[in-house]
Structures are given as C-alpha cells and as structure tokens.
C-alpha cells in the first residue's frame, strides 16, 4: 500500500511541477529588472539612442565634415534647425551640419565609454579575482600596486599623457583604460574574499576541483552580478571623463568630435543666439547619462542578494 501511495504522490508531484525548469537567479533578476519602470524605460531610450547613431547617417543631407558656405559665419541667421535646408539640428559656427556631428559625437562618446568600461571590467575582474583567491603575500603586493596607482591624480595623468604623446583616440583609451580598472579590481577582490570562504567553494575543493575551475566555474559567475552593476555605472563615468578632456580641448581631434567637444563649442557661442549648438549635444549627453545611471540602479536592485 505504501508503495502504491508513493507512486501516486510522485505522479502528483510531477503534474504539479509543470515544466520542471527552474528559475535561475538570472531569470529572477531579469524579472525584477523589468518591473523597475525607470530602468526599463532607460534601457529602451538608450537602445534608441544607439540605434539612432547607426541609422541616423542614412537620413543626413550633409556629412559631419562638410561645410555649408551659406551658413558659415552667419549661423545665427541661416544655420538654425530646419528641415528644408537639411540641417535638422542647425549648423555650428563653421557651417557644419550639427545633426551629423551629434551622431558622430554620440558614436565616439559611447564607444569610448563602452570600450573603456570593458577594458576595466576584464582587467579589473581578472586582477581582483586572482589577488583575492590566491591571498597571502601575492594579494598584499597586488593590492599595494593598486594603492600606488590610485594615489596618482587621474585627470593629471590623462592630461599629461595627451600632451606628451599627442592627442588621439588611442591615447585616450590607454589613459582611461589604464586607470579605470583600479576600483573594479578592489570591488572584485573584496567579493572574492567573501566567496572564497563559502562552503560551496570548500565543497568543490574537497571534491578535488582544480583552482582554475573553481575560479571560472564558482567564483566568476557569482561575481558577475556586481561586475555588471559596476560596469553600467562606470560607462557614464568614462564618458564624463572623456567629455571633460574634450571640453578642455585635449580629447578627440577635428573634424571628429564627441559630446564633450560639441558642448564646448556650443557653450562658447551661446552669446550669439545659437543656443541649439549647445542644447542638442547637451540633451543627448544628459539623457544618455541618466539612462546609464538608471539602468545601473535597476541592475543593482535586481541583483541584490538580499532580495533572493
């Protein structure tokens, strides 16, 4: 009788668990993220901006370096935003089409932000996880190196690099990438130290799993949450740094441009009644940064372990 009951219960249980597929923490997190309206809308807007920067050029009448001789020098009267002239966002003081230039600036700024953050994520995660997992003297040495690098003023080094080695996007990447992984490695190391003593790591070690597999299979997947959050918050930080450098006139080189460079030009001519030169790039800049921060915030809430 007991056996019969058991099989019945088993059948019932099988029916109850409809699919049998579990909800992983990632699925849970995605659901929580989707419930966060600000974050979802931000993600949507950001995707639109990215798409715009790729599709936008097909609708442009002027290229980003072409000069409209009519508008040159008289941007306030001729170069205002209009559909007929093909300058949807107006022109800058040299008569170049602001629509194309904003698109160009968006591409460059986002690329700097995303690539810079990726460098920081890869280097920082590997460095931090190695330091944390190995521990002891190696950990001490690796973290003191980070301390030393951190104590050097960031902007100063960046400006010095650009002045000494010349202005170029490549140099900007190296400068930003070189220093932005420091915080990342700190955060990752702290998390690794925390994870290292968890019982599931010990269980893996008792079983005989190798150190390398433990790092890749057990530590890194558990770090990804915090890394993802930090990376989304790092992107706007790097965009800001690049914009600041460009604002100082040290960033990207003409005729290429970036949000910071455009904002600088716009701000310089604001007294000549050409406010669109400031407002268009500024709007893109501000909206994108807001979106990144909201997404980062949403991710942090969604991946917060306390919510489990």
Q: Compute the least distance from the CB of residue 198 to other proteins, in Å.
A: 6
CB 291 within 8 A of CB 42: yes
State the alpha helices, DSSP H only, in 208-254: 211-213, 220-247
Q: In which element (H, E) is residue 250 found?
A: none
Using the contact rule CB under 8 A, the part of the chain among 167-175, 201-209, 226-234, 239-247 near other proteins is 201-209
Compute the distance between CA of residue 21 and CA of residue 24 in angstroms, rounded to an integer. 9
**Exactly one of 2, 136, 206, 306 binds other proteins (CB under 8 A); which one?**
206
Which CB sits closer to other proteins, 221 or 268?
Answer: 221
Told to check if 13 binds other proteins by CB under 8 A, we report yes
Compute the distance between CA of residue 308 and CA of residue 296 in angstroms, rounded to an integer. 18
| Residue 141 CB contacts under 8 Å (≥ 6 apart), including other chains | none
Which CB sits closer to other proteins, 69 or 308?
Answer: 308
Q: Compute the least distance from the CB of residue 194 to other proteins, in Å.
A: 12
Told to check if 208 binds other proteins by CB under 8 A, we report yes
Residues 217-276 that bind other proteins (CB under 8 A): 217-218, 221-222
Q: Compute the least distance from the CB of residue 234 to other proteins, in Å.
A: 23
CB atoms within 10 A of CB 168: 13
**Exactly one of 3, 21, 83, 164 binds other proteins (CB under 8 A); which one?**
21
**Exactly one of 59, 165, 200, 272 binds other proteins (CB under 8 A); which one?**
200
Q: Compute the least distance from the CB of residue 201 to other proteins, in Å.
A: 8
**CB under 8 Å, gap of 24 or more: what pairs does 219-224 form?**
219/129, 219/133, 219/192, 219/195, 220/125, 220/129, 222/191, 222/195, 223/125, 223/129, 223/188, 223/191, 223/192, 223/195
Told to check if 307 binds other proteins by CB under 8 A, we report no
Compute the distance between CA of residue 153 and CA of residue 155 in angstroms, rounded to an integer. 6
Q: Compute the least distance from the CB of residue 126 to other proteins, in Å.
A: 19
Site residues (CB under 8 A) for other proteins?
A: 10, 13-14, 17, 20-26, 198-200, 202-209, 213, 217-218, 221-222, 308
């Amino acid at each position: 009788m007991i056996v019969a009951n058991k099989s019945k219960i088993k059948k019932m249980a099988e029916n109850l668990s409809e699919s049998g597929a579990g909800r992983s923490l990632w699925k849970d997190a995605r659901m929580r993220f989707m419930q966060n309206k600000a974050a979802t809308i931000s993600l949507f807007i950001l995707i639109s901006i990215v798409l715009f920067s790729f599709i936008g050029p097909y609708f442009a009448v002027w290229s980003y370096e072409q000069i409209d001789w009519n508008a040159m020098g008289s941007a306030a009267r001729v170069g205002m935003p209009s559909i007929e002239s093909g300058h949807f966002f107006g022109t800058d003081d040299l008569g170049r089409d602001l629509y194309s230039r904003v698109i160009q600036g968006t591409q460059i700024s986002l690329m700097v932000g995303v690539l810079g953050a990726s460098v920081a994520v890869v280097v920082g995660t590997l460095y931090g996880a190695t330091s944390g997992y190995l521990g002891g003297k190696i950990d001490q040495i690796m973290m003191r190196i980070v301390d030393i690098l951190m104590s050097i003023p960031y902007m100063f080094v960046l400006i010095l690099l650009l002045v000494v080695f010349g202005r170029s996007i490549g140099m900007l990447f190296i400068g930003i990438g070189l220093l932005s992984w420091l915080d990342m490695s700190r955060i990752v190391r702290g998390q690794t130290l925390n994870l290292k003593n968890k019982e599931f790591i010990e269980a893996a070690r008792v079983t005989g799993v190798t150190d390398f597999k433990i790092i890749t299979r057990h530590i890194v997947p558990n770090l990804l949450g915090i890394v993802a959050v930090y990376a989304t918050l790092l992107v706007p930080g790097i965009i800001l740094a690049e914009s600041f450098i460009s604002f100082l006139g040290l960033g990207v080189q003409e005729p290429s441009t970036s949000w910071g460079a455009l904002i600088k030009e716009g701000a310089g001519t604001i007294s000549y009644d050409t406010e669109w030169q400031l407002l268009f790039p500024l709007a893109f800049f501000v909206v994108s940064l807001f979106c990144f921060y909201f997404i980062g915030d949403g991710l942090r809430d969604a991946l917060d372990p306390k919510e489990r």
